[in-house]
Structure 1
């Protein structure tokens, strides 16, 4: 085995190299001796030298200031191919004294050090850096003592003053922010209390009972004024969708709806002819309830019509129908696979969860969040589909009656 020593290489450095092998010899042919020589050229290869120790720290300087000695230095010209992990500082009284270890574990980013006690004026210092390969060469301070200049002294005091001032400003700003936040919160609470005194809450609406012989409660009348009203001649019923507990649900067209232009296809819930006052009260409560909710996954109330015998709730039309029938129609059969992907099913679950979370944030909880009580915007494949919780009303207004198939009502009650 042949070893070749190459001098002058740098540590942690990549080099390209190749070698040439020469083969020589002799052979006899027809009583003649022939000498030959052949060469073998290896392809270019690459190798990297190992990391070494750092070089000596640069510009090591020791000087006196108001607090005593301070030693500073600059990073070595080379870290030896491995990051510097620490510095070590040694000191001695004079050149005839032995070096003493003053500090060995200084962090690799720290480029200064101050001794705890420095009563002598003849100290000499040296510093060396270390990496994973070990300690490097020393960098020495000069024999000359460098006193701190007046500008450096002033500068150090300026840093102290600026730091203290900055901390004081931050504390002041924090106090101002807390005061403003407290005042804003107090004003908000005061506004909420005033609003609670002047406005009826959904829980109060749910608890209002209305006897047939009595006029409509004042709270209900005030809330009815805030509903989006639509004239009956702007509403056209076209197709019956289902029958509910106290009325019918139709598909139709409405014009001049609040915040909408032109004609809009809608779902129209009607109050049946010959209704009782208790049924009308439920009808009004449902309109008030829906008007208080505004969320992409809750069926939205678009308007109401309260003109004499024509009592309508105008809702956004969910063309896909109820979720239960849609899932049944999309189920796999012997001839066709399922029409729904896992992403479609997860999207429906997320939509329903968002709607339920919104209701919870308004201190209401759904008691019958079944597929029959959820609606989808479209039953056509490959179209954007949104799932929403259907129309809502208060269950304590019902006598635990069953909801007919095709009814768009869901069940909602205040959460306590």
Structure 2
């Protein structure tokens, strides 16, 4: 980006008021280090970081600034330290390249750490080999967008999260690429926040991990090939729409795990190629509607401590098992879903089956109690189980049924 263009942009941002200064940092200039530039600028100024490698340890910004990096501006932690700590309101950081953050068992060393402040904007940055990429601690009304955050996580104990948010509210996370961390995005005690259009892939644990975070939402995100998928735990009023949960395989891997979650919605999402598409434990007053489940081991696993959940207008197609449960009774509602294994009839031609569908199969019940029975999957013995189920339907829990199964898949966006 040419220097003249950057300066012109900054002047326009400030309305040509003349109240702000632009200080340029570059090797060999009057301000050869970022630390020297920070000592020179005042609140409201712009710090323009020119091309070069800056290995200055952890820098603390305690003034309201705009910090703009030109192509080739690299902050290098040399695998020893964090890089940038923001402690003033309304700091804008854009266009910088951060790399080689140090590791620590005592501190959450980060490429960018925002703490005890408000209204930070972090955009168009690249982070490589970060411990924690971006860390917001008690930092509200912040925006994190268009960043590229690449980790090198190998063990859970030796890695951090891509975007970590703690005790904050009104945070907006949009259009970031986050790859190879412990968790891609981590929320703890975060409220009134939104996560849009991010790609979160190849993490050791979860693509996104919510804990004790209420009145939040995530939309149009892609969570793919993560060790344990996605988890939302101990939260309420969470809105989850238009997300893609795919290719999460393993003994404890889910497209989406919902644990102790209530008064939330799961609408127009895609679950494809997971060990378990959706896992519900201790959920209540959840609406799961118009979701697409395909080519999962288990499309839906719902435990006996779930109640008042509504599963309607979803499509279940080409899954090994549609529904599995450990319960004999059902305190939830299944209505108007499409099940490709349904073999009922529709005499009145209204598109709704005339007999209920029981999605919990006999073999899924056996596999739930004895997982090693999965070796028989796709064998001729499975056909025998299915015939026994038709002859003696009381073997499977009758309460788990969709009284109005539809005969055609729901149209999904």
Larger strand fraction of residues: 2
Q: Give the TM interval when normalised to the shorter protein.
A: under 0.3
Pick 1 or 2: higher relative contact order, CA cutoff 8 A, min separation 6. Answer: 1
Q: Which has the larger radius of gyration?
A: 1
